């Protein structure tokens, strides 16, 4: 299995791209917005993983709530696992405050 690079920084950033990976994501988001087949309500999730930078990241574009993007992504991950003949169980865990 290839290496998996967990996020080094778990903060959510907004605004101008601040590194190579976020600049790539910004260009992909711009291309998505300019696509002639894009319809109102289309949204984008970009996951980028870099062996060169030994890091990864995820960008949500045109989602009103990041939580809704995460929920949609989890549903699709379940479908991907099912298509591979596998199951993935997603269970909520309590945060450190016990919520």
DSSP for 34-99, please give it: H-TT--TT--EEEEEEETTTTEEEEEEES-S-HHHHHHHHHHHHHHHHHHTT----------TT--
Is pLDDT above 90 for 39?
yes
3-state secondary structure of 15: coil
More confident residue, 21 or 16: 21
Residue 95 has a pLDDT of 66
- Calculate mean pLDDT across residues 32-54: 94
Domain definitions of the chain by residue range: 20-83
DSSP H or E segment with residue 30 = helix 20-34
Residue 24 has a pLDDT of 94
What is the tens place of the pLDDT at every residue in 73-88? 999 999 999 999 999 8
Of the pLDDT bands very low, low, confident and very high (cuts 50, 70, 90), residue 69 is very high
Residue 13 has a pLDDT of 74
Residue 28 has a pLDDT of 96
Check: pTM over 0.85? Answer yes or no.
Answer: no
């Amino acid at each position: 299995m290839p290496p998996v690079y967990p996020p080094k920084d778990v903060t959510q950033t907004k605004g101008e791209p601040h590194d190579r990976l976020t600049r790539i994501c910004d260009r992909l988001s711009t291309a998505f917005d300019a696509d002639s087949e894009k319809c109102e309500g289309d949204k984008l999730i970009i996951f980028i993983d870099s062996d060169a930078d030994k890091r990864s990241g995820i960008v949500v574009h045109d989602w009103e709530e990041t939580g809704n993007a995460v929920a949609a992504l989890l549903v699709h991950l379940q479908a991907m696992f099912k298509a591979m003949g596998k199951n993935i169980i997603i269970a909520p865990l309590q945060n450190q405050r016990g919520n």
